[in-house]
Amino acid sequence: MVYHIPALLKESIDGLNIQPGGIYVDVTFGGGGHSMEILKRLKNGRLVAFDQDEDARVNVPDDERFIFLNQNFRFLKNNLRFIGITAIDGILADLGVSFHQFDEPARGFTFRQDAPLDMRMNKGGRMTAAQLLNSLDEKELSDIFYRYGELHNSRRIAREIVALRLVKPVERVSDITGILDRLAPARQEHKFYARVFQALRIAVNHEMDYLKEMLEQSLELLHVGGRLVVITYHSLEDRLVKNFMKTGNFEGVEEKDFYGNIKKPFRIINRKGLTPGENEIADNNRARSARLRIAEKI
């Protein structure tokens, strides 16, 4: 089974503008596809890769220029400092869930296969999706589905889940798909469940909060002229990345210095973001929602 097919591979590695002796970080190692391409362009440089999923360790190459850290990228700065790195030339983040995680039923990431509702990127994490669904109150659940799934019937979804757990614990994928079937819009069932499961996954793994932490640290760590390369897969994370690259904050609010000049932390390399072409989507349908953003630190 293929662990993962990296999206926008050539475009993202080209976007790093790799210097042969530079120091680079792949904060989402996964199947190692992006890391392998970075290593091909390095000579005496170094590559550090992060992945919180222990399963990714099987893809680690035997290369003295490479360091693998089984850590969440929210700890980027402290982990780099621990190994003696205080500044870097480029950082790459592919925010998609790996094929391996989607296709392993026991992980519970997809609504296509019945399995325990886990959804933890880090299998040692404290709370599973099932525990979240059985412990939060109706308003908290509604907020998750509205904020992270952009589902306008989030209150009804939360109400159905709370009603079910009065009868039995919510433990499996089939528990969710069974009770929400009547709420899915006709001929849009796939999109509906994708958003429900996206919302749960984001909440379980604190994805938006940790993405913000990583982006802020990337700005601190990058040399002037260093590149930040991020592949997003849905509007919530893409908006955060776009705003941060443009303004240095997540609201997209332009700030001015003492003299009235707009502060710009980055030079934007591709303003609209790059998306996969028809050939790539034909070869890898899961790349269809990918969007690549590239910025260079000023």
Give tens-digit pLDDT for 243-263.
Answer: 999 999 999 999 998 899 999
Closest CA to 265 of 214, 209, 225, 236: 225
Q: Are 217 and 228 members of one domain?
A: yes
Q: Are 87 and 117 members of one domain?
A: no
**Per the domain annotation, does 107 fall within a domain?**
no
Q: Which of 154, 173, 205 is the last residue of a domain?
A: 205
Q: What is the CATH number for 171? A: 1.10.150.170
Q: Which of 205, 225, 254 is the last residue of a domain?
A: 205
Q: Which two tokens stand for residue 98?
A: 């790996």
**Per the domain annotation, does 2 fall within a domain?**
no
Q: Are 55 and 174 members of one domain?
A: no
**Per the domain annotation, does 192 fall within a domain?**
yes
Q: Are 94 and 155 members of one domain?
A: no
Prediction pTM value: 0.93
- Report, as ranges of residue numbers, the positions in the chain whose pLDDT lies below 70: 1-4, 98-103, 105
**Per the domain annotation, does 81 fall within a domain?**
yes
Q: What is the CATH number for 217? A: 3.40.50.150
Q: Are 213 and 92 members of one domain?
A: yes
What proportions of the chain, in percent to the nearest 5, are helix, strand and coil? 45, 15, 40
pLDDT of residue 1: 46
pLDDT of residue 105: 67
Q: Are 201 and 214 members of one domain?
A: no
Q: Are 52 and 191 members of one domain?
A: no
Dist. CA 53–CA 122, nearest whole Å: 5
Edge to edge, the sheet with strand 266-268 lists 66-69, 46-50, 23-26, 88-94, 222-232, 291-297, 266-268
- In the chain, how many domains are there? 2
**Per the domain annotation, does 3 fall within a domain?**
no
**Per the domain annotation, does 76 fall within a domain?**
yes
Q: Are 287 and 216 members of one domain?
A: yes
Q: Are 224 and 95 members of one domain?
A: yes
List, as one string, the DSSP characters of 237-290.
HHHHHHHHHHHSSSS----B-TTSPBP-SEEES-TT-B---HHHHHH-GGGTT-
**Per the domain annotation, does 251 fall within a domain?**
yes
Q: Are 95 and 219 members of one domain?
A: yes
Q: Which of 205, 222, 239 is the last residue of a domain?
A: 205
pLDDT of residue 99: 63
Q: Are 133 and 212 members of one domain?
A: no
The dihedral sign for the CA sequence 217, 219, 224, 228: positive
Q: Are 200 and 211 members of one domain?
A: no
Q: Which two tokens stand for residue 39?
A: 């290593």
pLDDT of residue 221: 98
pLDDT of residue 178: 94
**Per the domain annotation, does 104 fall within a domain?**
no
Domain of residue 90: give its range.
9-99+207-297
